[in-house]
Amino acid sequence: MKKVSKKLLSVLLGVMFLASTLVGCGGKTQDDAKPAETETTTKTAEAAKDEPSGSPKKVAFICKSYTDTFCVWVKDEIEKKAVDYKDQFTVDCLDSKNTSSTQIEQIENCVASGYDAIIFQQVDAEAPVEAVKAAVNKGIKVIVTTGSINDGGASTYIDADPVQQGSLLAEYAVSKFPENAKVAILQGPAGNFHANGREEGFKKVLGATKGVEIVAEEIGEWQKDKAMTIVQNWLVAYPDLGVIMAHNDDMALGAIEAIKMAGKEGKIQVYGIDATAAGCQAIQAGTLGASVFQNAVDYADLALEYASAHFKGEEKESTRIDSELVTPENVADYIEIHKQLGNIK
């Protein structure tokens, strides 16, 4: 396994050269679980020189959920970047709707439909293992992005370290906590690789910090609306709640909405992970204490690069992508990234 270190400047330079034309992944739903074969991407002439002749290969990108802001950001970047590979392969997109059974069915359908590679964001680390192994045994390249599964190395993964993300955020947060802080945690789905890792990172730091008490934990399924409802209940049950730590920005933003509705703005600290466009804007506005940036552009670049290399007879190693702490002191840099990417107008 190798580690990829991405500097802020390289991100900014890279996004300045993105093509504005988006072609490729269609907005398929669970009712269309079998990928279409007609949605294509385009490719640069320079990259085409190295490609074999013949019909393009077929690649499926299975998004964990079209309601998850970060997952959709990765999908959007796949759409943008896939334009560079038209002559080598086409890309079709599917929505797993954050459901393991749906995702397994989609993987199996991709195999039956003759896809040459599958890139997917895992819903669960265990559930798709047999489907993935079956795909690999048929010669299909499987790349897991924004996660990994327990398949003994059958697939290749591209991911950040969620334990490191949780620890990085918590180490900063505890330096801002009120004395004898009462903390609640909004969690991702049970069994999810990122949720488990971020939770471990949180608790490693919180457990070692004197005076901190975790008073509540509840699964918000990565969803803003569900998190908002959870926090509304917490504000009644724990009137002295001082801090909310969320496994992602969407849930953190839901917490912020609940706090605002209760008239408790400025009285409860909130922290998240992903540094989405909305998350960064909330940090800039002073309602989100901090977040952790993982770069969707890197995920998209590497996933397509790995598929391309495979079709050329080259195999890439599984990769860890660096995560970066985003605070009020440096959030302007990340706001600029989102502007360059078109996520903030």
Mean pLDDT by 10 residues, the chain (345 residues): 47 44 42 39 36 77 94 94 94 95 97 97 92 97 90 94 97 96 96 92 97 98 97 97 98 98 97 97 98 93 97 94 96 96 90
Same domain? For 178 and 85 the reply is: no
Same domain? For 239 and 129 the reply is: no
Q: Find the domain containing 6 and state its range.
A: 2-159+296-321
Distances (CA, A) of 261 to 3, 159, 221, 231, 327: 43, 36, 21, 11, 24
Check residue 56 and report its DSSP letter: P
Same domain? For 80 and 183 the reply is: no
Instruction: With CA atoms as reference, report the closest residue to 90 among 121, 60, 130, 132.
Output: 60
Rounded to an integer, what distance in angstroms lies between the CA atom of residue 271 and that of residue 17? 32
Same domain? For 72 and 96 the reply is: yes
Same domain? For 43 and 78 the reply is: yes
Could you tell me the pTM of the whole model?
A: 0.81
Assess if residue 88 is contained within a domain.
Answer: yes
The per-residue pLDDT for 5 is: 43
Q: Which residues contact 343 (CB under 8 A, 6 or more apart)?
A: 73, 276, 277
The per-residue pLDDT for 108 is: 98
Same domain? For 184 and 278 the reply is: yes
CB 261 within 8 A of CB 268: no
Same domain? For 112 and 171 the reply is: no
Assess if residue 257 is contained within a domain.
Answer: yes
The per-residue pLDDT for 147 is: 82
Assess if residue 331 is contained within a domain.
Answer: no
Assess if residue 245 is contained within a domain.
Answer: yes
CATH of the domain at 198: 3.40.50.2300
Assess if residue 341 is contained within a domain.
Answer: no
Distances (CA, A) of 210 to 24, 175, 180, 204, 283: 52, 12, 8, 12, 26
Assess if residue 6 is contained within a domain.
Answer: yes
Supply φ then ψ for residue 229, to 5 degrees. -65, -40
Other C-beta atoms lying within 10 Å of the C-beta of residue 180: 11
Same domain? For 145 and 168 the reply is: no
Same domain? For 147 and 183 the reply is: no
Same domain? For 137 and 173 the reply is: no
Number of structural domains (the chain) is 2
Same domain? For 75 and 180 the reply is: no
CB 100 within 8 A of CB 117: no
Same domain? For 244 and 172 the reply is: yes
Query: Could you identify the residue written with the tokens 């400025």?
Result: 266
